[in-house]
Amino acid sequence: MGFHPREGDGATKSLLRRNGRSLESIAAASVYAVCRCNGLGRSLEEISHVAVCSQSHLECAYAAMNTELELPTVVPQPQSVLPRLASELGAPNDVQHRALELAALGTEARITTGRHPHGFASACLYRAGQERGWLVTQQELAAVSNTSPKTIRAHRDALLEILER
């Protein structure tokens, strides 16, 4: 990330010196930071499921790390999480490609700004599945993407508005 050894050492010591920061939470926060800085579609929930610390400790450690190191985080896009969701659900390639097209349309229309990328990606997969004859339920999508069927419906409706223009 462009740190000089002395800067990195001082920043690390500063992060670890604060009360309540365990090595485990800093390690988990580091994994999440790498994902965020490289535009990889991993959520705090996903990282916390495999971490040795709680999600709240992970959130606190990441917030401190982000503040202390001024991380160059990338805003997550639905396109970055779509391949993993499609793979987990066993979506055919044509459905995945169409979902990526729909996600790009949503990004261009700026309806994805400030929205949970997993929810919008799920809505794109749902719509693409309907168009291509691949049946998947909103409940299945919600389970894989850590969202709710209601969220998927809301994103689907926003997506349909764009498609009708």
Domains 5-69 and 78-164 share a fold: yes
Of residues 9 and 57, the one with the higher pLDDT is: 57
Of the candidate CATH numbers 1.20.1560.10, 1.10.1760.20, 1.10.472.10, 1.10.10.2840, the domain formed by 78-164 belongs to: 1.10.472.10
Are the CB atoms for 116 and 150 separated by under 8 Å? no
d(CA 19, CA 64): 12
Instruction: Map tokens 């790009």 to a residue.
Output: 104
pLDDT of residue 114: 76
The verdict on pTM exceeding 0.85 is no
Which two structure tokens, joined as six digits, stand for 126?
Answer: 């749902």
Spell out the domain ranges in the chain: 5-69, 78-164
51 DSSP assignment? S
22: left (phi over 0), alpha (psi -120 to 50) or beta: beta
Backbone dihedral angles phi then psi of residue 115, each to the nearest 5 degrees:
-110, 155
| 21-55: pLDDT as tens digits | 788 899 999 999 998 888 777 788 889 889 888 88
| 60-89: pLDDT as tens digits | 999 888 888 888 877 778 998 899 999 999
d(CA 139, CA 145): 10
Are the CB atoms for 1 and 37 separated by under 8 Å? yes
**For residue 131, is pLDDT > 90?**
yes
Of the candidate CATH numbers 1.10.472.10, 3.40.50.620, 3.40.190.10, 3.40.50.720, the domain formed by 5-69 belongs to: 1.10.472.10
Question: Minimal CA–CA distance to 148: which of 156, 96, 60?
Answer: 156
